[in-house]
Structure 1
């Protein structure tokens, strides 16, 4: 399976994630407990990975599985980072408005490239760095609203603490992705075995969050396992399936591609979501959206296109003296 096929599928699924979540709402709210969706998605990913791992066991040779506790414990770290990241996200939204938060979220594109270089030691060419910066500029441009809108006055007018939390959120998001790639490529273990470890801890931490919510609410609505499916519809289950499938695709990219491919997939998904919203939710297209799409397409071409497609390579023309020298050399060899 080629990485670009997986990346395209990830783009499509990620773009439909927000649309499905919006469609699952009723009268502008959720009839179900939204905290149960990530938990069920983790359980779905764990179940699929376990089945695929079992399928590998039935084949020969046996899949490689490192079962040392020190190695298994490393898979706890991404869950802890994501837990901290989620809390930082909520804290950030108390200081900045949604539009500013979305724009600051694009910092994770650049922070991913920086941590990709520092922690994984992966070198990027100057052209690739330019492409990454262009991608951040393009996604930001597409999200900037016109100054005639009511939200324009509050755009980027948050206290310094809000900006600091936004930068921290971008760094944590990049750190989680880069660390996960490190785990996936640390050894030649089976991808499905690595997924089982990753999603086991993911399910545990999400379940702990549900329990914590019950404690905070004084078990007013009963324990979470008794109302886990309350308010669920077909659309809600599609949200769970979508979230779980995107997680499986991301783990594949972390194993066989890299974080930059994932960043491009999610960024293109955001643009695709905005385009689809024009037809589904009467979203009005803007000049900024058009410019953002153009800039992101330029970035995509700059990063992944072969260098000879971007720069005209000079042709090496042999001089008359060099041609004569070659002819004399060949003539001498033929005589000998």
Structure 2
């Protein structure tokens, strides 16, 4: 399976997440506990990975599986980082409005590139760095609203603490992705075995989060397992299926591609969601959206196009000067 096919599928699934989540609402709200969706998605990923691992173990060549505790103990770390990241997200939204938060979220593109270079020792060319910066500019441009709207006035009016939390959120998101790629590529273990470890801890941490929510409200709604699927509809189950499938595709990209491919997939998914919203939710297209799409497509071409398709930015070498031919001059006396 080629990485670009997986990346395209990830883009389609990610772009439909927001749409499915919106369609799962009823009268502008959720009839179900939305905190149960990530938990069920983790359980779905764990079950699928366990099944694929079992089938792999039944083959003639058993997969490589590291069972030492010093290796397994590394897999809860991404779940801890994502848990901290989610809390920082909520804290950020208390200081900045939604539009500012979405625009600041594009910083994770640059922070991913920086951590990708520092921690994974992956060198990026100058052209690739230019492409990453262009991608950030393009996604940001597509999200900027016209200055006639009221939200434009609050774009840069948030307190400094809000911007600091936004930067921290971008760094945590990039750190979780880069660390996950490190786990996936640190040895030749089976992808499904690595997924089982990753999603097992993910399910445990999400379950602890549900239990903590029950403690905060004094179990007034009963324990979380008694209302796990209360209010679920077909659309809600599609959200769970979508979220779980997206996670499986991301782990494949972390194993066989890299974080930059994932960043491009999710960024293109955001643009695709905005375009689909024009037809599904009467979203009004803006000039900024079309400019952002053009800039992002330029960035995509710059980063992934073969070298022969890119303009040679190096100055052409000058040809050596041709040697001068000696010219014989005959001096004649004038009469």
Q: What's the TM-score once normalised by structure 1's chain length?
A: 0.93
Query: What is the SS of the residue equivalent to 1:145?
Result: coil
Deviations 1:243-269 (A, max 9, x none): 000000000000000000000000000
Measure, in 2, the Cα distance between the counterparts of 1:123 and 1:36.
40
Measure, in 2, the Cα distance between the counterparts of 1:205 and 1:274.
32
Measure, in 2, the Cα distance between the counterparts of 1:267 and 1:314.
33
Equivalent residue, structure 1, for 2:44 = 44
Equivalent residue, structure 2, for 1:231 = 231
Cα shift at 1:310: 1.0
Equivalent residue, structure 2, for 1:19 = 19
Alignment RMSD, CA only?
Answer: 1.5
Measure, in 2, the Cα distance between the counterparts of 1:221 and 1:315.
73
Deviations 1:49-99 (A, max 9, x none): 000000001102100000001100000100000000000000000000000
As a proportion of its length, which structure holds more helix? 1
Equivalent residue, structure 2, for 1:266 = 266
Equivalent residue, structure 1, for 2:53 = 53
Equivalent residue, structure 1, for 2:106 = 106
Equivalent residue, structure 2, for 1:199 = 199
Equivalent residue, structure 1, for 2:289 = 289
Measure, in 2, the Cα distance between the counterparts of 1:17 and 1:310.
34
Equivalent residue, structure 1, for 2:255 = 255
Equivalent residue, structure 1, for 2:328 = none
* CA pair 177-205 structure 1, distance change in 2 beyond 3 A: same
Deviations 1:170-222 (A, max 9, x none): 00000000000000000000000000000000000000000000000100000
Measure, in 2, the Cα distance between the counterparts of 1:134 and 1:102.
17
Measure, in 2, the Cα distance between the counterparts of 1:299 and 1:229.
42
Equivalent residue, structure 1, for 2:331 = none
For structure 2, the residue ranges without an aligned partner over 5 or more in a row are: 323-335
Query: What is the SS of the residue equivalent to 2:241?
Result: helix
Q: Is residue 138 from structure 1 mapped to residue 135 from structure 2 by the alignment? A: no
Query: What is the SS of the residue equivalent to 1:20?
Result: helix
Measure, in 1, the Cα distance between the counterparts of 2:136 and 2:316.
35
Cα shift at 1:279: 0.1
Map 1:117-196 → 2, pairs under 5 A: 117-196=117-196
Cα shift at 1:305: 0.7
Cα shift at 1:225: 0.2
Consecutive aligned runs of 4 or more in structure 1 exceeding 3 Å deviation: 312-319
For structure 1, the residue ranges without an aligned partner over 5 or more in a row are: 322-336
Measure, in 1, the Cα distance between the counterparts of 2:308 and 2:232.
53
* CA pair 290-223 structure 1, distance change in 2 beyond 3 A: same
Deviations 1:269-288 (A, max 9, x none): 00000000000000000000
Q: What's the TM-score once normalised by structure 2's chain length?
A: 0.93
Aligned residue-pair number: 320
Deviations 1:104-160 (A, max 9, x none): 000000000000000000000000000000000000000000011121111121100
